[in-house]
Amino acid sequence: MNLEHALTTTIDVNGTPFAYREAGIKGGVSIILLHHLTAVLDDWDPAVVNGLAASHHVIAFDNRGVGRSGGTTPTSVQEMARDAIAFIRALGLSKVDLLGFSLGGFIAQVIAQEEPDLVRKLIIAGSGPAGGEGISNMGAVLQDGVAKAAASGKHPKHFLFFTQTDHGQAAANAFLARLSMRTEDRDAAISNESIHAQLTAIHAWGQGDPSKLSEIHHPVLVANGDDDVMAPTINSFELARRLPNAQLSIFPDASHGGIFQYHAAFLQQALDFFA
Amino acid sequence: MNLEHALTTTIDVNGTPFAYREAGIKGGVSIILLHHLTAVLDDWDPAVVNGLAASHHVIAFDNRGVGRSGGTTPTSVQEMARDAIAFIRALGLSKVDLLGFSLGGFIAQVIAQEEPDLVRKLIIAGSGPAGGEGISNMGAVLQDGVAKAAASGKHPKHFLFFTQTDHGQAAANAFLARLSMRTEDRDAAISNESIHAQLTAIHAWGQGDPSKLSEIHHPVLVANGDDDVMAPTINSFELARRLPNAQLSIFPDASHGGIFQYHAAFLQQALDFFA
């Protein structure tokens, strides 16, 4: 079952319905996808998710207050991590792999710190440590991207996720086309209130303390483009440097969406890593 | 034909005999291996080279003044690159892939800058840009490693190529065992005069100007351990940042010899890259 054809289901998490979709083959360690600022279920790239789902069980979900999930989006990464942990436990899972992208990468770090036994391996993409350079600026970068998109008639992700080269912009078009492949049962858009709460959480994360990274002893694959405008790439290097057991992969002529632009190469690395 | 069983041959390069060994399957683009400070032919890890040779033609050589090659080792990376280019041309090759390790990575950069049409793709491992942080210090680090080795009865590479963790030291033992697999027709050791010339070249490289990196438009794979004591890992990040078309791969709990420690993972990346 490919993710873009998967039904959207809800599960009760401490009284709140959480929306999720699952794809792939059950049996091994499930991969939980943790998503970015503004993202709902439909924003996961099928090229990456279906590639993982060819040999793994993969679960995408809307965290509290996002998309079709109920409740109010919290204003800290720590609370988002607690909600994600509660969702994972509500599914009856006791050991998972995490793929956290951007804000989802922050959440993945906190899950691994707070519930180390719940996690086997993590991929942290387009992300950075607490206190990372330029992380607090993500809201301003988002605004700038939205303004450029409005002025040019393009999608904000043309500016925020991809480089401005021909190569980068062609990848943006291909990525957006993949996201539009799902035509039925699409998710609800995120509310402005939830975006605002996420930005508050991201700003606080950018002011945080990275020292807890040394506590994450799990295998970690850190991945990003070499020119990320949202979570500057130096943060991926910093993650790999501070994490005791991290592998780093950086893609050329690529921005925040580097793992989607280089989906085939990233997928191979991810499959090797999760093997 | 595996490299550790390959005959050592010489070829005349502008009047000087250059020693080399070749392995693998002729036909495609040959991979030229460019080696590190102090290294001779026997210092290439069979786990990496034979893995490449399973599907590529691979050539290792002693540059001028090194091992069994004649002449006097020059005191600049630029001259070493000119010698390497002359060797490649003497073999009758007009387009090659390069795998440069440490000093060899410096040489690979200059070859790509000076003779861009001669090069298809480059891997630069355990290396850094001209002017890179701590590169000029490599001689002092080497001395320190040799002193520690003498005091402990270990090989200097236990200190210089691998981390001091149990994992790193076990990898050092496995690496050194692989290097000793070749028992016949071993290369001559490098002379102290050649090491001194190489250190002069490395020191000058460490004082150099990295701006020419933007001229290298070839696909580049930059690889290293996350804790390289000889060519500090930040230099690999800097290479990937400055090179227009570079992919970066950093291995955990690994030092200068990261690509040898993670030979299986590195080999997969290298084969994908050279495909």
Give the Å distances, CA to CA, from B65 to A14, A18, B71, B80, B143: 73, 68, 5, 10, 21
Residues of B with CB below 8 A from A249's CB?
247-250
CA of B31 vs chain A CAs: smallest distance (Å): 22
CB contact under 8 A, A240 and B234: no
Residue A174 host element (H or E): helix A166-179
> What's the pLDDT score for residue A2?
76
For residue B224, the distance in angstroms to the closest alpha carbon of chain A comes to 10
Report how many Cβ contacts below 8 Å link chain A to chain B.
Answer: 59
Out of A250, A253, A272, closest to residue B248 by CB: A250
Of the candidates B103, B101, B125, the residue with the CA atom closest to the CA atom of residue B224: B125
DSSP run (H or E) holding A120: strand A119-125
A245 to B253: CB separation less than 8 angstroms, yes or no: yes
What are the pLDDT digits (tens) for A96-139?
999 999 999 999 999 999 999 999 999 999 999 999 999 999 99
Handedness of CA B251, B254, B259, B263 (dihedral sign): negative
Domain coverage including residue B222 = 3-274
Mutual angle of helices B234-242 and A234-242, in 10-degree steps: 160
Q: Which amino acid is at A255?
A: S
pLDDT single digits (tens) A197-247: 999 999 999 999 998 899 999 999 999 999 999 999 999 999 998 999 999
ipTM of the complex: 0.73
Whether the CB-CB separation of A53 and A2 falls below 8 Å is answered with yes
Helix (H) or strand (E) holding B125: strand B119-125
The partner residue sitting opposite A240, judged by closest CB among B219, B220, B250, is B250
For residue A168, the domain's CATH number is 3.40.50.1820
pLDDT band at A4 (very low <50, low <70, confident <90, very high): confident
Interface test with B, best of A229, A233, A247 (most B CBs within 10 A): A247
In whole angstroms, what is the distance from residue A23 CA to residue A31 CA?
10
Region of B159 please: left (phi>0), alpha (psi -120 to 50) or beta.
alpha
Contact between chains at B265 and A244 (C-beta distance less than 8 A): no
Average pLDDT over residues A28-47: 97
Q: How many domains does chain B have?
A: 1
Cross-chain Cβ contact B248/A240 below 8 Å: no
Q: Do A226 and B246 touch (CB under 8 A)?
A: yes
Chain B residues near residue A265 by CB distance under 8 angstroms: 247, 272
The pLDDT value recorded for residue A211 is 87
Residues of A with Cβ-Cβ distance to B244 under 8 angstroms: 252-253
Q: Which of A237, A244, A249 sits opposite B249 (nearest CB)?
A: A249
Contact B247 A252 (CB under 8 A): yes
The list of chain B residues with pLDDT below 50 reads: none
Q: What is the distance in angstroms between the Cα of B186 and the nearest Cα belonging to chain A? A: 35
pLDDT for the residue B253: 87
Q: B240 CA to chain A: closest CA distance, Å?
A: 7
User: Which positions in chain B touch A243 (Cβ < 8 Å)?
Assistant: 252
| Interface touch B252/A244, C-beta < 8 Å | yes
pTM for this structure?
A: 0.85
d(CA B163, CA B199): 23
CA distance B255 to B233: 8
| A247 vs B237, B245, B250: nearest CB | B250
**pLDDT score at A1:** 63
| Cβ–Cβ below 8 Å for B245 and A253 | yes
- Closest partner CB to A247 (pick from B234, B244, B251): B251
CA distance B263 to A18: 43
Distance from CA of B45 to the nearest CA of A (A): 21
